[in-house]
Structure 1
Amino acid sequence: MTTALITGASSGIGTVYARRLAARNHDLVLVARATDRLNTLAEELRKAHGVTIEVITADLTDAAQLNLVADRLRADPPIDILVNNAGAGLSGGFADANPIALENLLRLNSLAPTLLTTAVLGGMLKRGHGSIVNIASALAILPEYAHGIYAATKSCVLTMSQSLNAEVGPQGIYVQAVLPAATRTDISKVPDVMEVDDLVDAAMTRRFHARAALPQLHAD
């Protein structure tokens, strides 16, 4: 069995990734702020699939709590799949932005996935395999459709994924950037858009079909 660590696992895209990976017999490390929701999901998946599940309560905007997750990524049993999913939005534009809110968004959407990727990468390279899935956004390539810095934070995730793929893809590390457009999540509740289950299934289909080939970056 391999082990996957998923941030933002207590709802939305993260929860669906947890369910899909558990159904494929991956052990899980679930990370989010909502302890009760994480424990409920963990119990559901243990009963349904018999997998081992760890729960880590962490606010990734807090440096000390982020370091706890990074430490787990370096520890045993090794993490074979990292899903950098935790993220948030921020209403309003630059002119009326709260500096503290801006800093927290940058920490969560850009800094956290960067540091967690760095933490897991050394072990993956030593083993010669591993998968890193970064949840970005279609707004990463369409920033004119979004006010404020949200699109910029997701552009960071996308370009980091592209650079990472060029660096470590030939060494056996699969890197995938997922770029959801309008998807029904806790952040976006726009009607008549893609369901989260469909988004994750499409992204995972790409991932598993590409495992036999040289790892490539996929923007879904």
Structure 2
Amino acid sequence: MSSTTPASGLGTALITGASTGLGAVYARKLAQRGYDLTLVARDQARMEALAATLRAETGRTIDILPADLTDPAALAQVAQRLAEDAAITLLVNNAGMALDGGLLDSKPAAIERVIALNITAPTLLASAAGKAFVARGKGGLINISSVVAMAPEQFEGIYSGSKSYILNLTLSLAAGLKGTGVHAQVVLPGATRTEIWERSGKDVDAFPDGIVMEADDLVEAALLGFERGEVVTIPPLEDEGQWQAYEAARTAMGPYLSRRDVATRYRQG
């Protein structure tokens, strides 16, 4: 389906992984803010139930697009929707999964599926949306990463690596979008109460007290960060100065990372 004008003042938000967890919360909060929605996930029944509830509560127009984003054909269909539907003004790249195990005890098919969903899908969708939004002179992209992007030792490396990729992708994208009218944000949740834990064989209730954030709180904070124009939003981080120091240290190395001469510590004699 394609259209030529936004269906609402804010337009339509396309949300992946929208049947449950953070995606469902984003759907509810964006509909309450006045967005129409296109919900994308594998579970059609759950999306239909969510759509019916949100239509009744908010009066917004809500479409569902069942798709397994690890399937290249289904992924291409969603990317085409982003490219062609001028009503879409916001992409929430939320769909993701974790392994039940790690690199050394997971089967290749499971590893490939995580990479397809956590890296390939959000990359291609961000590309399709970004090109379309730049051509229209407005739009927004929200990519869901994780705090383990900066703490890989605390979680299995495939998941944390995929989330580090999303952080890097968004930082680069945001830099390239300056002056286009399009804004990119990356959200780094800490442990959040969603179904991802059960699906990856982990018990979220086993975490120490005070560690796990509620999904509703996480998304409300993330949307506030988006509305403020933040590129990086870390809802659980109290001291913003810690992130600023991290970024300052990282960028300070920039001029010294590529040189003709080998660093002195690696020279022999």
Fold match (TM-score > 0.5): yes
Change (3 A) 1:56 1:39: same
Structure 2 residue matching 1:171: 3-state secondary structure: coil
Please give the per-residue CA displacement for 1:122-171, whole angstroms capped at 9, x wherever unaligned.
22112211110000111111101112411011111110000000101332
1:107 maps to which of 116, 135, 145: 116
- Displaced runs of 4 or more, over 3 A: none
Structure 2 equivalent of residue 197 of structure 1: 216
The one-letter amino acid paired with 2:222 is A
Tell me if structure 2 keeps the 8 A contact 1:169–1:175.
no
142-151 vs 183-192, which moves further = 183-192
Structure 1 equivalent of residue 237 of structure 2: none
Tell me if structure 2 keeps the 8 A contact 1:92–1:148.
no
The one-letter amino acid paired with 1:128 is G
Distance 2:150 2:182 in 1: 24
1:219 maps to which of 233, 238, 243: 233
180-189 vs 8-17, which moves further = 180-189
The one-letter amino acid paired with 1:160 is L
2:222 is equivalent to residue 208 of structure 1: no
2:42 is equivalent to residue 33 of structure 1: yes
Distance 1:147 1:8 in 2: 21
Distance 2:195 2:232 in 1: 24
The one-letter amino acid paired with 1:50 is G
Please give the per-residue CA displacement for 1:40-61, whole angstroms capped at 9, x wherever unaligned.
0111111111111110000000
Q: What is the aligned length?
A: 215
The one-letter amino acid paired with 1:202 is A
2:176 is equivalent to residue 139 of structure 1: no
Structure 2 residue matching 1:90: 3-state secondary structure: coil
1:177 maps to which of 172, 178, 186: 186
Please give the per-residue CA displacement for 1:62-109, whole angstroms capped at 9, x wherever unaligned.
000111111110122431000000000102222222111111100000
2:74 maps to which of 46, 62, 65: 65
TM-superposed deviation, 1:39: 0.3
The one-letter amino acid paired with 1:170 is G
CA RMSD of aligned residues (A): 1.2
41-50 vs 81-90, which moves further = 41-50
Tell me if structure 1 keeps the 8 A contact 2:146–2:189.
yes
Distance 1:49 1:93 in 2: 42
Asked which structure has the greater CA Rg, the reply is 2
2:134 is equivalent to residue 130 of structure 1: no
TM-score (structure 1 length as normaliser):
0.94
1:149 maps to which of 123, 138, 158: 158
Structure 1 residue matching 2:177: 3-state secondary structure: helix
Structure 1: runs of 5 or more not aligned: 211-215
73-82 vs 38-47, which moves further = 73-82
Structure 2: runs of 5 or more not aligned: 1-7, 198-202, 235-269
Please give the per-residue CA displacement for 1:199-218, whole angstroms capped at 9, x wherever unaligned.
000000111123xxxxx412
Tell me if structure 1 keeps the 8 A contact 2:225–2:233.
no
The one-letter amino acid paired with 1:150 is Y
Structure 1 residue matching 2:88: 3-state secondary structure: coil
TM-score (structure 2 length as normaliser):
0.77
